[in-house]
Amino acid sequence: MNHSSRFEFSVTICSQDHPLKEWLPNIDRWLTELLRLEGRGEYNEDLCPRCSERLAEFRCEDCTDLQLHCKFCTVDLHAQLPLHRVSQWVLRHFVKVSLKDLGLRIQLGHPPGQPCISPTRAFNDDFTVVDSSGIHPVALDFCGCGKGHSHPIQLLRFRWFPATPTNPRSAATFQVLEMFQLLSLQSKISGWEFYQCLERITDNTGAPEVKDRYTVFMRIMREWRHLRMLKRAGRGHDSGGVANTAPGSCAVLCPACPYPGKNLPDGWENSPSDKRWLYQLFIAMDANFRLRRKAVSSDEKDPGLNHGYAYFVEEHAYKRHLAMYSDLVAEDKSSCSDHDAVKLAQRKGAHDIAATGVGTVECARHDMKRPCSVGDLQKGERRYVNMDYLFNSSLKHHAMPTIVSSYDIVCQWTRNLFTRFAKYGWTLMSGGNPIAFRFLIPKFHLPAHQESCHTQYSFNLTPSVGRTDAEAPERGWAFLDPLASSTREMGPGSRRDTLDDAYGDYNWQKICRLSQAMLRKVREAVRQRDIQSSDFEALSAALSPELVSKWTTDIEAWEKDPSKPNPFVATQKKLSIAAVRLQLAEEEKAASAGQTLSLDPKISPSRLISIGFELEGIIQNALQRRLDAWAQFQETLMPSAVTLREREKSRPTSPEHACLYMPSEIPTDVECSTDLLEFEWRLRYAQASETLDDLRQHLRLRSSLCKLKDRFSRGVRTVTRALAIVANVEQRIKSDGQRYRAARTALMALAARLPDKEGWDAHLKALLDQDVREMHVDLDGVSEGRRTLSWIWCMPGLSNADDSAGTQEALRIEWCKSRARSHRWSEECDLLQEEMRRILAFHTWQAEWWLQRADVCVKLDKQREDEQASYTEGAEAYARRQSRIRCLLKERCSQAWEGVLEWVKLSPCSVE
C-alpha cells in the first residue's frame, strides 16, 4: 500500500464532520515536530547564551525555555525549581541527569538566595523527594543557625511533607499529594499503581537507580489525608487542639437536612400539625458486601487516625459492643421473602475475610453520608447487632423528633428492634422526648417483598414523605465500589481512613452540585404534580360523589391510624380451582336429593371436568391408556365427543397432542349440556384467576433473584448457577402466561354459548407480552410516581357471586393510588421548597461559623511566641477563605433558584 492509499484509507475511518478528518492530513508534519524536539532545534550554539563563557549542554525538560545552558547557569536558573528534570547533550543526543549531580543544593529555613551560616546536610546527604514529575534525589541543607526550626517544620514550610518527624530522609511535595488524593477519589487509582506511574515518569526503562519510597509515600498520604480533614473541619482553630475533637465533627454535613440551630426557623417545634412533617429527618440504612477487607494486619499494627471523627464509628467502642452482644447473631426465620444476605456474604470465601463489608446509615433524600454512621460487618447484613449499633450511633449524633427510616429488610429488622434496644440499654430520644419513627422499604427493593409489605412499608402510599425513594445508599455504592480492589488489601486503620476520605469527598461533590440538582428536582416535581393532580381530579369527577366521599374518609382514617382497614388492599376473596371444585361437589350433593345431574350415579359433571383439568396438566407425560379411560368416562355425559373423536381417527396424533374435547373445545354447532358448559366455565374462571396469582408471584420471585444475582454473585460458577435459577423462573413465567391464555381462550368459547356471561372479560383481559412485567417496571422505564401498572397488578380478588363488589373494589384501589400519586408530588413540591430554604440558611450559618473562628489565637510553644502573628494570620486567612466559599455556594444557589417559589405555583410550562 503506497503513501497516498494509506492516507485515503485513514480519511475513510472518519465521518464527514469528525474533527479527526481535519487533523489526519497533518500527521507526518506533526510527527516530525515531535522528533525535532529530541534534538537541540534552533538552539545549537556551542556557548551558553546566559554567560557566553562555557559550553551549552544542559536543557530543562519542564521549562518552556528550550535553550541549552552551561552547568553553572543551569544550577543557578533552577535554584527555585529544584525538581525540574534536566537532560545533557552527549554524543549528539540527550541523556537524563539530576540537578543534584550538577551541584544544586537546596537551602531550607531562609529566603531564596540567602545562605545559612550553619547549614546542616540531610542524613548522609541522601534525601529523596516524591513529586508529580517523578522521584528525585536532592542535595538538601537544613538551617542550623539559631533561627532554624526543626527539620520537619522546615520541610513543611517549603511545602514538602516529611516522611518522619525525626531526621527525615524523604518527603513528598504538596502537589503530588493533592494530585494523588484527587485521583484516588475520582478515578479510584490505587497507591501502588500511582507510585508505579511516578517511577516510570522518572525512568521508563526499569533502572534500579530509582529509589523505592512506596511505603514511605503511602504513610505520608495517610497523614496528609488526616491533616486535611482536620483542617477543613476547623480543628486547627480550636484552642483545645485535635485532642478536643468530638465524634463526627469532621464530617461534611448535608445542608438540606434539618439541623436545629443551623438551618431551621425559630419556633419550628410549634409549627402547625399540617406543616410539622416538613421538619422530619429521612435516613436510609444499607450494607455493601463488595467493600470487604481481607484478614491482613490488625488494629494494633495498623491503627486508624480518625478515631470516629468523621463517618466510621470509633472502633474500640464498636468492637466492645459486638463482643458483649455476640449472642444476638441470628434472628428468627424470615416472615417475608428470603432476603438472606448473610448466606451470600459468607458463602464466597469468608474464611479469610476480616470484614465482609460495611454497613451505613445515610441521608435518604440527598444521598450524603452521615457522621458516625459507618462500620464494618463481620457476618452479613442480617447480624442485626451491627446495624443496631450504627443506627443508634447515627441518631446519637443527630436526630429529630420524627424520623422516617428505610431499610431493604426493614420488615424483619424492626420485628424485635426495640426489644433488642432494651437489652442494649439504649433509649432513642430527641430534645428529651422519644423519637417517633416510621419504618419503610426503599422503592426499588419493595417489589421483591411479599404482598403484605407493599402497602405497609410503601413510600408511595405513606403520607408526608414526598417522592422520597430512599435508594440513596445504592447510588453511593456506585461511587465507592471501585475502591474495593485497593481497600480490601489494606490494614484496618488504613482502610477506614481511606474510606472516610472518600465519604467526605463524596459529600462535598454533592454540596457543590446542589444548586442544579435541586433545580432539576423542583422542575420535575411541579410538572408531575400538575399531571397527577389533573388525572386524580378527572378520575374523581367520573365517580359518584358518595363513593369519593366514603373512600376519602376511609383513606384519611387509615393514614392517621394504620391499624384501620387498608383501602389499598383488596378484600374480595380470591378464587381457586380447589375452592370451586368443593363448591361444585356440594351443589351436586344438594341436588342429588332431587334430580340427578348425571346419567350414571357414579359419574358427575364436575368430576368429568375436574379429571379433564388434570389430564391437561399432565398431558405431556400421560399414557395412552389414561386417554382411553377418559374417553370411556366422557362417553356417558358427552356422547357428541365420541362422534368428534371418530372423525379424527383418520389423522392419528401422539398422546401429547390429543384433543380432550372439553366443552369449550366442542364446535358451537354440536350439542353440549348446559350443566357441563357452566361447570367448565366456573373452573376455567378460577383457573385463570389462580394462574394470574401464580404469574404475579413468579414475577416477584424473578425480581428478587435478579437483584440478589446482580448484587452478590461473583465468579463464573456462582453467576452460572444464579442464571440457571433465574432461567427456571423465566420458564415458569412463560408457562403461567400460556396457561392463562389457554384458560381465557376456553372462557371466550364458553361465553359464546352461555348468554349470561356478558362483560366477563372486564377483569380477565387479554394478556399481551408487554403486560407480563414486574410491578415496579413500566413500558417506558419510568418510576412508580409516573408509571402505569400492568393490568395484572390492578386486578382485585373477584367473586362471580358479586361481580359489582369486585368492580367497585378495583375502582377504589385505583382511585386511592391516583390520590397517593397526586399527594406525594404535592408534598414533594412543599418539601423541596423547605429544603432549598434550609440549604441557603445552612450556608449562611456555616459562613458565620467560619468568621467566628477567624479571631482564634493559635496556641504555640513559648519559644515560638515571636511568630504568633504569622500563625494567627494564617488561621484567620483560612477561616475567611472558607467563609467566602460558603457565601459563593449560597450565591450560586440563590441565582439558580431565583423565583423558584413562584414557579411552584405556576403551570409546568413556565419552568422549562
Radius of gyration of the chain (CA): 38
C-beta of residue 88 within 8 angstroms of C-beta of residue 58: yes
Query: Which residues on adjacent β-strands are paired with residue 58?
Result: 69, 88
**Those residues with Cβ within 8 angstroms of residue 342's Cβ, 6 or more apart along the chain or in another chain:** 379, 380, 381, 382, 383
Taking phi first (over 0 means left), then psi (-120 to 50 degrees means alpha), and beta for anything else, what does residue 87 get?
A: beta
List, in sequence order, every residue forming a beta bridge with 803; answer none if it has no partner: none
The answer to whether residue 628 sits within a structural domain is yes
Whether residue 152 is found in the same domain as residue 41: no
Q: Is residue 53 part of a domain?
A: yes
Which pLDDT belongs to residue 899? 78
Quick one: pLDDT at residue 803? 42
For 167, residues 6+ apart whose C-beta sits below 8 A from its C-beta are 123, 151
pLDDT for position 70: 95
Closest CA to 278 of 433, 430, 404, 432: 404
Same domain, 366 and 475: yes
Q: Quick one: pLDDT at residue 336?
A: 76
Q: Is the pLDDT of residue 391 over 50?
A: yes
120/61 same-domain check: no
193: in domain = yes
Helix (H) / strand (E) element for 24: namely none
> SS3 for 370?
strand
> Residue 856 falls within a domain, yes or no?
no
HSE (side-chain half, CA atoms, 13 Å) at 330: 6
**Residue 373 contacts residue 393 (beta carbons within 8 Å):** yes
The angle at the Cα of 498, spanning 492 to 499, to the nearest 5 degrees, equals 90
Tell me, yes or no, whether 622 and 769 share the same domain. Answer: yes
In a domain, residue 468? The reply is yes
Nearest Cα to Cα of residue 476 among 668, 285, 729? 285
Residue 800: per-residue pLDDT: 35
User: With 70 as the cut, is the pLDDT of residue 232 above it?
Assistant: yes
pLDDT at 192: 94
CB-based contacts of 8: which residues, under 8 Å, 6+ apart? none
Report d(CA 320, CA 323) in Å as an integer. Answer: 5
Q: Is residue 811 in some structural domain?
A: no
Residue 812 has pLDDT above 80, yes or no: yes
Report the pLDDT value the prediction gives residue 258, as an integer from 0 to 100: 96
Helix (H, G, I), strand (E, B) or coil at 363: strand
Rounded CA separation 98/60 (Å): 10
Q: Grid coordinates standing for 537? A: 381530579
The one-letter amino acid at 561: D
pLDDT average, residue stretch 347-368: 83
Q: Is residue 208 located within the same domain as residue 140?
A: yes
* Residue whose C-alpha cell is 563563557: 53
Q: Is residue 386 part of a domain?
A: yes
739: containing domain: 577-587+605-777+784-793
pLDDT given for residue 654 in this prediction:
59
Banded model confidence at residue 796, pLDDT cuts 50, 70, 90: very low
Q: Is the pTM of this model over 0.85?
A: no
296-305, 308-317, 881-890: lowest mean pLDDT where? 296-305
Residue 131 C-beta-side C-alpha neighbours within 13 Å: 16
702 shares a domain with 613: yes
Tell me: do 654 and 672 sit in the same domain: yes
Please indicate, yes or no, whether residues 639 and 699 belong to a single structural domain of this protein: yes
State the pLDDT at residue 594: 47
Domain count, the chain: 4
Is the backbone of residue 357 left (phi > 0), alpha (psi -120 to 50) or beta? left
Q: Which of 185, 207, 233 is the last residue of a domain?
A: 233
Checking if the pLDDT of 897 tops 50, the result is yes
Give the integer Cα–Cα distance in Å for 67 and 710: 59
Write out the three cell numbers for 494.
Answer: 488504613
What pLDDT does 802 receive? 37
- Check whether 605 has a pLDDT greater than 90: no
Q: Is the pLDDT of residue 12 over 90?
A: no
| 791 neighbors 771 (Cβ within 8 angstroms) | yes
> Is pLDDT at 723 greater than 80 in this prediction?
no
Predicted pLDDT of residue 571 = 75
- 395 pLDDT above the threshold of 70: yes
The continuous run of DSSP H or E covering 368 comes out as: strand 368-377
Out of 99, 132, 150, a domain closes at: 99
Res 885: pLDDT: 96
- Please report the pLDDT score of residue 9 as a whole number: 46
> Average pLDDT, whole number, for the chain?
82
Q: How confident is the model at residue 59 (pLDDT cuts 50, 70, 90)?
A: very high
Share above pLDDT 90 across residues of the chain, in percent, rounded to a whole number: 43
CA torsion 444-448-453-457 (nearest 10°) is: -20
Helix (H, G, I), strand (E, B) or coil at 651: coil
Which residues, including other chains, have CB under 8 Å from residue 551's CB and lie 6 or more apart? 567, 812, 815, 816
Considering the domain boundaries, does residue 58 fall inside one?
yes
Which of 362-371, 421-430, 582-591, 699-708 has maximum average pLDDT? Answer: 362-371
Domain end position, chosen among 233, 263, 285: 233
Do 649 and 734 lie in one domain? The reply is yes
Whether 468 contacts 283, CB under 8 Å: no
Q: Do 199 and 298 fall into the same domain?
A: no
Residue 573 has pLDDT above 50, yes or no: yes
Q: What is the pLDDT at residue 455?
A: 86
The Cα–Cα gap between 446 and 440 comes to 9
Q: Are residues 305 and 412 in the same domain?
A: yes
Calculate mean pLDDT across residues 693-722: 66
Residue 639 is predicted with a pLDDT of 65
Intra-chain end-to-end CA distance of the chain, in Å: 56
Which of these, 363, 427, 333, 187, lies nearest to 839 by C-alpha position? 363
Task: Name beta bridge partners: 170.
Answer: 128
- Local confidence band at 713 (pLDDT 50, 70, 90 cut-offs): low
User: Distance between CA 172 and CA 164 in Å, rounded?
Assistant: 11
Secondary structure (DSSP) of 862-877: GGGGGGHHHHHHHHHH
pLDDT of 910 strictly over 60: no
| Chain-centre distance for alpha carbon 266 | 35
Helix (H) or strand (E) holding 682: helix 674-712
3-state secondary structure string across 89-138: EECCEEEEECCCCCCCEEECCCCCCCCCCCCEECHHHCEEEEECCEEEEE
Contact between residue 662 and residue 728 where contact means Cβ atoms under 8 Å apart: no
Give the integer Cα–Cα distance in Å for 892 and 895: 5
Residues of the chain above pLDDT 70, percent = 76
Do 430 and 478 belong to one domain?
Answer: yes
- pLDDT of 788: 55
